[in-house]
Structure formats: C-alpha cells, structure tokens
C-alpha cells in the first residue's frame, strides 16, 4: 500500500466516524474549498456555528495549523476546531478559536 492510499483510508475512516456521530443530530457534514484551493477536510454544520475538522495522517509532533484551516478560522470565527491525528494531542488558541489536536481513537468520546 502506498502512503497516499493510507492517508486516503484514514480520512475515510474519520468520515465514517463523524457521519455515525452526527447521524441522528440533524447536523450536516461536508467539506470546504475556496477558489484559491484552500480546503478543510470536513465541516460539521450544527446550526449557527460551523465546526471545522482537519485530518492529518502523517506524523504530527507540533501544534502547527495549515493555512487552509487558518483561513477558515479567520473567515468564519468558529468557537472550536479539530485536527484529527493518529496519536498527537494538544490544545491551542487561534483568534479566539479553541483548536484541539485529537487522536482519532478519542473521537467516539467527543460530544458535538
């Protein structure tokens, strides 16, 4: 299996988990992309406040946030955002948005 395949499979796993978690909530799950190709993997629409979710399969060992997620935060000013990783955990604040780096296996415990 190629590294690209593993990343795609990991992102698909996260999609399936998120879809299952919001199934009966009335929330909607989609992605976000601009004309400039800035992209956030998933956005959960729960009402007034969108919840961006970025998925990182590669090794994450610092709390750096890609330009695309920063752009989403600057534009929509969500209360929180998530970066789903294989095992890295941390919390940072970007422009009043709480960004949580969360290992994928903890997604089931998370309340939306």
Find the domain containing 96 and state its range.
Answer: 3-109
Share of the chain above pLDDT 70, in %: 96
Give the CA count within 13 Å in the CB-facing half-sphere of 25: 15
What is the predicted pLDDT for the residue at 47? Answer: 81
Residue 59's CATH number: 3.40.1350
Write out pLDDT tens, residues 18-59: 999 998 888 999 999 988 888 999 999 988 789 999 999 988
Average pLDDT over residues 87-96: 96
Binning pLDDT at 50, 70 and 90, where does residue 1 land?
Answer: low
Q: Structurally, how many domains does the chain consist of?
A: 1
**Considering Cα of 112, then 93, then 14, then 44, what sign does the dihedral take?**
positive
The model carries a pTM of 0.91
């Amino acid at each position: 299996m190629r590294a690209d395949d593993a990343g795609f499979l990991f992102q698909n796993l996260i999609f399936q988990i998120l879809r299952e978690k919001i199934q009966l909530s009335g929330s909607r799950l989609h992605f976000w992309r601009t004309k400039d190709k800035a992209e956030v993997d998933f956005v959960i629409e729960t009402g007034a406040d969108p919840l961006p979710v970025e998925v990182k399969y590669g090794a994450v060992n610092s709390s750096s946030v890609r330009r695309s997620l920063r752009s989403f935060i600057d534009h929509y000013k969500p209360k929180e955002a998530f970066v789903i990783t294989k095992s890295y955990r941390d919390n940072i604040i970007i422009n009043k948005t709480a960004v949580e780096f969360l290992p994928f296996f903890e997604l089931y415990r998370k309340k939306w």
